[in-house]
Amino acid sequence: MRERISRGSDNIFKDIGVSDPERTLIRAKIMSHITRIINERDLNQKQAGKILSLPQSKVSNLMNGKLSLFSLEHLFKLLTVLQWDVEIIIKPKSRTETKATTSLLVTA
């Protein structure tokens, strides 16, 4: 018997039925970016916690992708503490889109 395999979308959270998959994916990407910043600065979790005003256990949760523990607002605050600007752009959807979307663009 052959196993049926289907191609997923660009959003794993949509594929597995998470409510609000676009925002969940954005949180995951931001958490990954914060983890990358911490690693690039060669910080351990305790050092990162001191900078971010978080206990080491919360930094561990952040770096291990515990999505439910971090709101977008909190993640934006952490980015600014790490000296990264956060810009939010609100615009009408394009005519070619069937619905408005939420997206993330990381530069640099």
Task: Quote the pLDDT of residue 1.
Answer: 72
Does a structural domain hold residue 97? yes
- pLDDT tens-digit map of 37-90: 999 999 999 999 999 999 999 999 999 999 999 999 999 999 999 999 999 888
CATH code assigned at 35: 1.10.260.40
Is 7 within the bounds of a domain? Answer: no
In a domain, 73, yes or no: yes
Would you say 72 and 30 are in contact if contact means Cβ atoms under 8 Å apart? yes
Cα dihedral 31, 71, 83, 86 sign: positive
Q: What share of the chain is helix, strand, coil (3-state, %, to 5)?
A: 50, 0, 50
Q: Is there a domain that residue 13 lies in?
A: no
pTM of structure: 0.84
The total of structural domains in the chain comes to 1
Domain boundaries, position 87? 18-108
